[in-house]
Amino acid sequence: MFKCVVVNGNNYIPLLVKRIVYFSLLLALLVYFHQRGAVVWRDRRKRINIINMSTTQNNTSEIDGVCDMLNNMNTANNTDSIPTCANCGKEGSDVNNTCNKCMSVKYCNAACKKKHRHKHKKECERRVSELHDEKLFKQPPQKEDCPICFLRLPNLPPGTVYMACCGKKICRGCIYAVQERETAVGLCPYCRTLPSSSEGEMIKRYEKRMSLNDANAFNNMGSYYKDGDFGLPQNYTKALKYWHRAGELGYAEAYYRIACAYAMGRGVDVDIKKSTHYLKLCAMGGSDMSRFTLGYFEARAGNMDRALKHWKIAVEGGDNTSLKYIKMMHSNGDATKEVYAEALRSYQAYLDEIRSDQRDEAAAANDDYKYYDSSF
């Protein structure tokens, strides 16, 4: 606009007006360049942000150089994007020979891997033990719910009954309500099948369930072979085979039985290392009994922190014995008041989830149906 006035200006415009126009023009130019500079600066800032996000552009100006530097700093920390040989520092997608122990470092070839072995050993062992603990102390899966009352199943064995007719695990409260209170003929509360009339029929039901890959059926059959129950011959080899299959199908408790077999040399040679391995598998799968045992081993070895970690997880799963041990640790000064209070709260939360009038009614009718322990 100002430029227009100047271009079209002529001698008829008084001197004062001319000066005002020139001054305004000068001011406008100053404002224009100032603003343009700001826009350029804003644009550049924007580009820095974009580049930091996309990490793809190459620029030649000074600011772009800084952008590239920032960009490189961002990507240098991301070891996933550019594999780097831990020995010679070579980068590229062909650096893919991974340390098969810790899986945390890569090499460009076997020679680099071998050369770096001595230097990496300590760090590798530290990382392996870190990964092992991450897996071991991860919150295990929670117990499933009763398919009839939809309440969480208790962790004490008398609180849950496995039905070989339909393969369901049903809480003692629901079993009691149907089998003893309603019908008195032992009907399955889920599929309404009558109980087996003979041991042979029961084993046939189990065989059918096993053909359907029912983990629980494999586990129980393993136990029947271990003891030679229900007309079956005692056979440790078969027992172990079935427990392994149950474990593979997701029934973690079966690993506890395998751990016991290795600890006692039943059907296998005594092997404490293998026994501990299966105990850990069992605990990671959600067995509170195995979790307690692992904590007990740690406490005996003087690793009170690790013992506490195991017992805290076990208490969350409803293990009353672990709660008693945490209480003991507190009395001995190995656990704070807060830790003990937290464990008490965890156990109370567990009880709140599993308790019901129907289950209490069953427990009151028969001592063998007791499904939780409130003493601590």
Binding residues for Zn ion (CB under 5 A): 85, 87-88, 90, 99, 101-102, 108, 112, 124, 146, 148-149, 163, 165-166, 171, 174, 188, 190-191, 193
Nearer residue to Zn ion within complex by CB, 188 or 315: 188
Q: At closest approach, how far in Å is the CB of 190 from Zn ion?
A: 5
Cα–Cα distance for residue pair 259/271, rounded to 1 Å: 9
DSSP-based three-state secondary structure for 190: coil
Read off the amino acid at residue 308.
L
Least Cα distance to 56 among 43, 89, 47 occurs for 47
Q: At closest approach, how far in Å is the CB of 192 from Zn ion?
A: 7
Q: What is the dihedral of CA 95, 101, 105, 107, to 10 degrees?
A: -30
Give the pair of three-digit tokens for residue 347.
């156990």
Q: At closest approach, how far in Å is the CB of 288 from Zn ion?
A: 20
Q: At closest approach, how far in Å is the CB of 159 from Zn ion?
A: 10
The DSSP line for 208-270 is: HHHHTT-HHHHHHHHHHHHHT-TTPPP-HHHHHHHHHHHHHTT-THHHHHHHHHHHHTSSS--
Nearer residue to Zn ion within complex by CB, 202 or 344: 202
Q: At closest approach, how far in Å is the CB of 170 from Zn ion?
A: 6
Residue 19 DSSP class: H
| DSSP H helices in 87-235 | 110-136, 172-175, 199-211, 215-227
CB contact at 8 A, 129 and 113:
no
Q: At closest approach, how far in Å is the CB of 82 from Zn ion?
A: 14
Q: At closest approach, how far in Å is the CB of 83 from Zn ion?
A: 11
What residues contact 123, with CB distance under 8 A and at least 6 apart? 102
Nearer residue to Zn ion within complex by CB, 59 or 196: 196
Please state, in angstroms and as integers, the Cα–Cα distance from residue 3 to each residue in 6, 10, 173, following that order: 5, 13, 93
Q: At closest approach, how far in Å is the CB of 86 from Zn ion?
A: 8
Nearer residue to Zn ion within complex by CB, 209 or 312: 209
CA dihedral for 348, 351, 357, 362, sign (positive or negative): negative
Residue 55 phi/psi, 5° resolution?
Answer: 50, 40
Nearer residue to Zn ion within complex by CB, 85 or 215: 85
Nearer residue to Zn ion within complex by CB, 36 or 114: 114
Nearer residue to Zn ion within complex by CB, 99 or 307: 99
Nearer residue to Zn ion within complex by CB, 12 or 150: 150
Q: At closest approach, how far in Å is the CB of 104 from Zn ion?
A: 6
Q: At closest approach, how far in Å is the CB of 122 from Zn ion?
A: 10
Nearer residue to Zn ion within complex by CB, 30 or 194: 194
The DSSP line for 289-340 is: HHHHHHHHHHHHTT-HHHHHHHHHHHHHTT-HHHHHHHHHHHHTTSS-HHHH
CB contact at 8 A, 263 and 270:
yes
Nearer residue to Zn ion within complex by CB, 43 or 94: 94
